[in-house]
Amino acid sequence: MSQLIVQRAGLAFPCGLADNLRERMCGGWFGFDFSEEILTMRRYEALTSELSGDSHPGAVLCRDFTLRTDKGRVSLRRGTPLQEALEQMPDDAGDSTLHFLAPDPDDITQEDASERIARAIVGDGLHPTEPHQGQVDLRAAAAGVLRIDSAAVERLNEPRLALIATALDGRVVEPDETVAIVKASELLVSSVDIEALLQTVGEYPVVQVAPFTRQRVALIAGDRIREQNLNVSSKHLAAGLERYGADLADVRKIEDDPNTIASTYRELLESGIDLILVAGSIVLDPQDPYLQALDRIDAELVRRGAPIDPGTMFWVARADDVYIFGLASCEMYGKLSIIDLFLPYALADQTIDNALISRLGYGGLLNDTHVVRRPASWRE
């Protein structure tokens, strides 16, 4: 049996050092203290005749192995336990060379490490799959909007132990869609290192799906909107809401008078409407009656104007737990616009604040970016 190299954390060393090589990693890795000496895992190359059922407990293949014999084809992937590989060798396999890694005492397999990472980051609305080739998929349990803590994803990926890839925050998902994958970066990983990494996960889930729970939407149109145009926009809006399980429950055409508007806001809120859309407001006018009416119902104006195109003249207010969206004319007739971006957040009862709106300016050219925020079935 010939011992070739030892390796840890992507570093490889010549043969002959395996018995006494110790790697010292001190601080500098997100504050983790690796000042204690760590024995490196060992890589071996050996003939099957030199191996037995007791050889190297916990070892795994580190290279794929394929062999054709009179009894058929044997194919073993890297990551296969060495003992399992030996058991699958046919009697007529002859003497074959296997490449494998032998674990250190605290090492766990890639699959175990991937499962631990997945359990630590997964939140509501998701179900992790069983590991396959070392990878765990996170799939949506129901329709909703995907929420990703992107800073946490970056923090977990940086030390090179975890490989976490996700769809974009705010993406609409359908049941059983894969929205993230999780994979440990090595075939054998230190459990101590994994646990230290997972200490960086905060109290909130890194990945979760918020279901669409708000269903009743109202549309208010002012003097600037013609009756015919209101009918057309109502049909487009109702069709779009159906995809979220929501309903255009109330459509009203009213006068551009602050008192009338405030009274309409109150009536809709008291009737249990979950979201109010306003057509005909002019966000650049400080005396716009729809904005003035917000003060009369003690609503909070969250933002006037948004760094999103199409949709820069959008505004958002909040009355208790109900959002009010001020729509520009381009957002009323079924074309892609800012309402497609924010509607999922509102219907899933997610916070829409200045921080979110500002952050969505990155990628805010919707004609270029919004397709990846939609389910695959919506893109056909």
Q: Hey, how many other C-beta atoms are within 10 angstroms of the C-beta on 209?
A: 26
Secondary-structure percent of the chain, ordered helix, strand, coil, rounded to 5:
30, 30, 40
Given this model, what pLDDT does residue 162 score? 97
> Where is pLDDT greater, at 240 or 379?
240
Q: What is the per-residue pLDDT for 26?
A: 30
Amino acid identity for residue 125 in this structure? G
The residue with greater pLDDT, 35 or 96, is 96
Chain centroid to CA 162: how far? 15
The answer on pLDDT for 17 being more than 80 is no
10 Å CB burial of residue 131 (0-12, 13-18, 19+) is: buried
> Using an 8 Å Cβ cutoff, are 96 and 48 in contact?
yes
pLDDT at site 33: 41
Grade residue 96 by pLDDT with cuts at 50, 70 and 90.
confident
Q: Which residue has the tokens 């109502």?
A: 234
pLDDT digits (tens, 9 = 90+) for 275-285: 999 999 999 99
Neighbours of 154 (CB within 10 A): 10
Residue 10 has pLDDT above 90, yes or no: no
Section 300-327 average pLDDT: 96
**Quick check: 77 and 133 in contact, CB under 8 A?**
yes
Contact 253, 230 (CB under 8 A): yes
Q: What pTM did the predictor assign? A: 0.84
Q: Residue 330: its pLDDT value, please?
A: 63
Task: Give the model's pLDDT for residue 276.
Answer: 98
Q: pLDDT tens-digit profile of 285-296?
A: 989 999 999 999
Domain spans in the chain, listed from the N-terminal domain onward: 2-105, 108-211, 216-379
**pLDDT tens, 199-245?**
999 888 999 999 999 999 999 999 989 999 899 999 999 999 999 99
Nearest to 139 by CA among 127, 130, 148: 127
Token pair for 299: 């609503």
For residue range 240-259, list pLDDT tens digits in order: 999 999 999 999 999 999 99
How would you label 1-18 residue by residue, b for 16+ Cβ within 10 Å and e otherwise?
A: eebbbbbbbeeeeeeeeb
DSSP summary character for residue 9: T
| Residue 13, pLDDT above cutoff 50 | no
Is 47's pLDDT higher than 60?
Answer: yes
pLDDT tier at 67, thresholds 50, 70, 90: confident
Kindly tell me if the per-residue pLDDT of 69 is higher than 80: no
Q: Which two tokens stand for residue 205?
A: 């889930």
Contact 274, 216 (CB under 8 A): yes
Mean confidence (pLDDT) of the chain:
88
222, 279 in Cβ contact below 8 A? yes
108-211: CATH topology is Aldehyde Oxidoreductase; domain 3 (3.90.1170)
**pLDDT for the residue numbered 380:** 66
Interval 88-109 mean pLDDT: 89
Side by side, the strands of the sheet bearing 11-13 are 11-13, 2-8, 41-47, 97-102, 60-61
Burial class (CB in 10 A: 0-12, 13-18, 19+), 117: buried
* % pLDDT > 70, the chain: 87
State the Cα–Cα distance between residues 138 and 145, nearest whole angstrom: 14
pLDDT for 335 equals 84
Give me the mean pLDDT over the 11-27 stretch: 34
Q: Is the model's pLDDT at 36 over the cut of 70?
A: no
pLDDT band at 42 (very low <50, low <70, confident <90, very high): confident
The residues facing 26 across adjacent strands are none
Fold for the domain defined by 216-379: Molybdenum Cofactor Biosythetic Enzyme; Chain A (3.40.980)
Mean pLDDT, range 88-112, rounded to an integer: 89
Write the single-letter amino acid at 72. G
The CA–CA distances, whole Å, from 73 to 69, 92, 171, 333, 373 equal: 6, 11, 44, 60, 43
CA distance readout (Å), 319 to 9, 123, 204, 301, 326 = 52, 28, 26, 9, 13
Res. 11 pLDDT band, cuts 50 70 90? very low
* pLDDT(144) > 80: yes
Average pLDDT over residues 265-274: 98
C-alpha to C-alpha distances, 195 to 22, 73, 114, 226, 372, nearest whole angstrom: 21, 40, 12, 62, 33
